[in-house]
A = this chain, B = another copy of it.
Amino acid sequence: MGRPSAKERRPYNSDAILDVAVRVFLERGYDGASLDDVARAAGITKASVYYHVSSKEELLERGVGRAFDALDAVLQEPAARRGPSLARLRHIIRRTIEITVAMLPEVALLLRVRGNTRAERRIVERRREFDHRVARFFAAAQRAHELRSDLDARLATRLLFGMLNSVSEWYRPEGELDAAGIARAVFVIVFEGIESAATRRLENLPKG
């Protein structure tokens, strides 16, 4: 594949450059990728990239910001704020999966950031703040006796979000699975457990 000629180039706006940048950062790793790589992948000059953004850091923060804004917004949705905790947690889980599937590259990039530049540290910090908000929510649901109290809220939310976050690594949009199907499986595993009813009866253990 050659470089597109000036004529073939589609008009680039800031959003389209961001799409390319997120893809390049995912492919090469943020550390390994340069603004030159982004410009080359977009088929435009580095000067054109600079017309829209001032630095590689800005591309990272704005790319990852798309996913953050969507995920933060979930916690503000009425279904995440009102009603029984369990229904709210289900809503948060379902919406997190929907966003992961809909913004796969942005979410994957967000979760892979762990570097030491200021931009990366800010992202890690924002991720941590999100985790803390969910852990506080989990703890409140435990105090309301809606979730088991014999789990550490921080550990449980880390494990739960470990499960949800993994979707960004293995999900393939071209497959048959959709967000609703993933959510159903997560609900079964996390709210009901994977043991069959037969096994449960055999074990004769009180659950919950």
Number of interface residues of A (CB under 8 A): 50
Cα A177 to Cα B142 with chains together (Å): 20
Cα A206 to Cα B112 with chains together (Å): 39
**Interface code A171-208, partner B: CB below 8 Å = 1, 0 otherwise?**
00000010001100110111111111111100000111
- Chain B residues within 8 Å of A145, by CB: 196, 198-199
**Interface code A146-160, partner B: CB below 8 Å = 1, 0 otherwise?**
111111100110111
A162 lies within 8 A of B166 (CB): yes
Check A170 for interface membership: any CB of B closer than 8 A: yes
Tell me which of B29, B146, B150, B189 contacts A156 (CB under 8 A): B189
Q: Please give the distance in Å from A65's CB to the nearest CB on chain B.
A: 21
Check A103 for interface membership: any CB of B closer than 8 A: no
Tell me which of B29, B149, B199 contacts A32 (CB under 8 A): B29
Check A86 for interface membership: any CB of B closer than 8 A: yes
Tell me which of B149, B160, B200, B206 contacts A189 (CB under 8 A): B160
The verdict on A162 contacting B158 (CB below 8 Å), with A29-B32, A194-B190, A208-B196 known, is: no
- Chain B residues within 8 Å of A35, by CB: none
Q: Which of A126-174 contact B (CB under 8 A)?
A: 142, 145-152, 155-156, 158-167, 169-170
B148 lies within 8 A of A194 (CB): yes
Instruction: Across the interface, name the chain B residue whose C-beta is closest to A114.
Output: B169
